[in-house]
Structure 1
Amino acid sequence: MGIGNIFRAFQPKDKIFFDLFLQVADTLVQMSKNFHEGLLEFDINDETLLNQMSDFEHQMDDLTHEIFVQLGKNFITPFDREDINYLASGLDDIADYIYASAKYIYLYKSPENKVYSEFSLLIYKSCLEVKKALENLKDFRNPAEVKESCIKINSYENIADDVLSQAIVRLFETNDAILIIKQKSILEYLEVVTDKAEDVANTMESIVIKYA
C-alpha cells in the first residue's frame, strides 16, 4: 500500500476540513462574482458593493476561525496540519484583499477605471479555479485536475502582472499626481489578490505532491 493510500485510510470520517474548505470556496466565488459585477456598474455614491464585500469578509473570517478550531480538536487531519494552516490563511487573504480593494476605491472616491473590472474578472476566474481545485482535492480524487487548476491560477496572476504594468504606464502619462497616488494604490491591491490566489494554488499543488 502506497503512502497516499495509507494516509487516506486514517482520514477522519466526518471530512470536516474538506467541508469547511468547500464552504470557503463557495464564499470566495460569490464574493468575487459580486465584486466583478459591482464594478461593471459602479456608482461611487452607492455603498452597496462595499457593504457586500464587508459581509463576505466577515463570513470568511468566521469560516477560517472554525477551521482553526477544528484543527485544535482533531488529532487526525486529511493532510499535514501546517498545510491546513497555510491553505486556510491563504484563502482568507484572498477575501481580505478583495475587501481592501473595494474599501480603497470608496475611500479614495476613485473615478471609474475600466482596469478595475479587468482585474476583478481575473480574480473571479481565479476563485472559480480555486473552488474547482478544492473539489478535486477532496479525498485526493483527481490530482491531475487540481494541478490543471493551479496552472490556470498561475496564468491569471501572470496576466494580472501585465495588466498592472500597462495600467501604471498609462496612469503616469496623465501627469495628475493625486490621481496617480490614488489609483496606483488601488491597482496594486487588486493585483495582490491574484498573488494571494497564486499562493493558494502553490499550497494545493504542494499538498497533491505530498499525498496524492
Structure 2
Amino acid sequence: MRAAEHAGDDATHAIFHQLNSSFITPFDREDIYALASSLDDIMDFMEEAVDLVVLYNIEELPKGVEQQIEVLARAAELTAEAMPHLRTMENLTEYWIEVNRLENQADQIHRKLLAHLFNGKYDAIEVLKLKQVVDVLEEAADAFEHVANTVETIAVKES
C-alpha cells in the first residue's frame, strides 16, 4: 500500500509540475488541482487505514469492514474507468451518480460498523483502534465522492 501511495504522490507532483509549466490546459487549472488533490487524498486515506491496522497490531477486523472495502474497490474501478472520459466529457453522468450512491452505501455500512463496535464485544482500547480504522475508510469513501463531484463540476463547465 505504501508503494501505491508513493506512486500516487509522484503522479500528483507530476501533474502539478506539468500544470505549472503549461500555458494552455484542457480545462480550468483550479479544477485540475482539485481533481489531482482529491485523488491523492484517496490514496492517503487508504494508506492510513492499512498503516493503522499494522501499527495497532489488529489481527482481526470486525465483520462489515469487508463491505466497506468492497464499496471502496468499486468506487476505485469506476473512477479509473471515468478518467479517460475527461478528454471528451462524454459518458460521465453515470459515474458521478454511481459514486454518490456508493458513498451513501458506505455511510450506512460505517454507521452499522460503529454500532457493532459499541455493542460490548470489544474492550475500550480495541474499540478505539477499530473505530479509527473504519473512520479512515469512511473518509476514503467521502474522498471518492469529492472526486466524482469535481468531475461533475468540470463536465458542467466544459459542456
Q: Does 1:91 align with 2:39?
A: yes
Q: Does 1:63 align with 2:32?
A: no
Q: CA deviation at 1:95?
A: 0.5
Q: Contact 2:19/2:29 (CA < 8 Å) preserved in 1? A: yes
Q: Contact 1:54/1:99 (CA < 8 Å) preserved in 2? A: yes
1:154-193 alignment, distance < 5 Å: 154-174=100-120, 176-193=123-140
Q: What residue identity is the alignment partner of 1:117?
A: E
Q: What residue identity is the alignment partner of 1:128?
A: E
Q: Which residue of 1 aligns with 2:73?
A: 124
Name which of structure 1's ranges 130-139 and 120-129 shifts more when overlaid on structure 2: 130-139
Q: What residue identity is the alignment partner of 1:57?
A: E
Structure 1, unmatched stretches of 5+, are 1-52
- Identify the structure with bigger relative contact order (alpha carbons < 8 Å, sequence gap 6+): 2
Q: CA deviation at 1:103?
A: 0.3
Q: How many pairs align?
A: 157
> Partners of 1:162 and 1:194 in 2: how far apart?
12
> Partners of 2:16 and 2:102 in 1: how far apart?
29
> Partners of 2:77 and 2:87 in 1: how far apart?
16
- How many percent of aligned residue pairs carry the same amino acid? 38
> Partners of 1:69 and 1:169 in 2: how far apart?
45
> Partners of 1:146 and 1:109 in 2: how far apart?
41
Q: Does 1:108 align with 2:56?
A: yes
Q: Which residue of 2 aligns with 1:136?
A: 85
> Partners of 2:124 and 2:19 in 1: how far apart?
48
TM-score (normalised: structure 1): 0.72
Q: CA deviation at 1:139?
A: 2.7
**Which deviations, in whole Å up to 9, do the C-alpha atoms of 1:2-23 show, x marking residues without a partner?**
xxxxxxxxxxxxxxxxxxxxxx
**CA RMSD, Structure 1 to Structure 2 (Å):** 1.1
> Partners of 1:199 and 1:105 in 2: how far apart?
25
Q: Does 1:197 align with 2:152?
A: no
Name which of structure 1's ranges 85-94 and 107-116 shifts more when overlaid on structure 2: 107-116
> Partners of 1:137 and 1:149 in 2: how far apart?
11
